[in-house]
Amino acid sequence: MSKGMLIVLSGPSGVGKGTVRKAMVKKSRIRFDYSISMTTREMRPREREGIDYYFRTKEEFENEIKNDGMLEYAQYVDNYYGTPIKYVQEKLDAGRDVLLEIEVNGAMQVREKMPDGVFIFLTPPDLGSLRDRISHRGTEDNATIDKRIEKARQEIELMSHYDYAVVNDEIPRAVRKIENIIRSEHLKVSRVYDSYKKVIGDK
Ligand code: 5GP
């Protein structure tokens, strides 16, 4: 059986990765399994153990790292976040696609370990037109403009390490684009070649 595809949804903080991921899980007709992350942060109201995250203590998390239990992990605002490797490996081996929704440092670790994954960068809607909008508006002081442009520069730089960029302007639209990426990726010759080769027998 051919292996499943790893899909990594990432992007700068505040871009709405979580919202797009939830819409994918709820609304998408594409089949995939979502990998639930582990975190040391406090549970928020309405969040549930084993659905939103696996909530663990710092010590438990660090033990997982020591035991090679994490595909990737990162520290974000004083907390650990990471992807347990077991679930991902089992699903991929069973031929299922797996979706991760993680911040950028973690995504770069996955890129190293699993380069044939599909890496999607979610971008804020105003990134491309930031300079125009700021200079037309004329309300921001210079220090603020510099800061915003520097942040945009860093985000565009990060994007260069990904395969696809999806603007998060409207959630249903972003979801459709991600679905199209997944469908096209499945048709790539590099992904289907082996199964075709079996038909004629390996020489
Ligand atoms: P939040 O605390 O708002 O749920 O998540 C904070 C950040 O952590 C978000 O940018 C989210 O994408 C990221 N995140 C969630 N799970 C993981 C994970 O397993 N690994 C990494 N590296 N980041 C994660």
* CATH match of 6-199 with 3.40.50.300: yes
C-alpha to C-alpha distance for 145 and 155, rounded to whole angstroms: 15
**How sure is the predictor about 131, in pLDDT bands with cuts at 50, 70 and 90?**
low
Q: For atom 14 of ligand 1, which residue has the closest CA?
A: 102
Could you count the other beta carbons within 10 Å of the beta carbon of residue 179?
A: 15
**How sure is the predictor about 2, in pLDDT bands with cuts at 50, 70 and 90?**
confident
**How sure is the predictor about 143, in pLDDT bands with cuts at 50, 70 and 90?**
confident
Q: Which residue is listed with tokens 């080769």?
A: 197
Half-sphere exposure of 155 (CA within 13 A, CB side): 25
On whether the CB atoms of residues 14 and 103 are closer than 8 A, the answer is: no
The DSSP element (H or E) to which 6 belongs, if any, is strand 6-10
Q: Is 9 helix (H, G, I), strand (E, B) or coil?
A: strand
Average pLDDT for the chain:
93
Query: Residue 35: is its pLDDT beyond 90?
Result: yes
pLDDT tens-place string over residues 115-125 = 999 999 999 88
Segment 111-137 shows an average pLDDT of 84
* pLDDT for 202: 64
> In the chain, which ranges are E strands?
6-10, 33-34, 38-39, 54-55, 70-76, 79-84, 98-101, 118-123, 164-167
Pocket perturbation via mutation, ligand 1, pick of 37, 54, 77, 99 by most ligand atoms within 8 A of CB: 37
* pLDDT for 148: 82
In 3D space, the residue among 93, 164, 165 whose CA is nearest the CA of residue 125 turns out to be 165
pTM above 0.85, yes or no: yes
Q: At 76, phi and psi to the nearest 5?
A: -135, 120
Q: For atom 20 of ligand 1, which residue has the closest CA?
A: 82
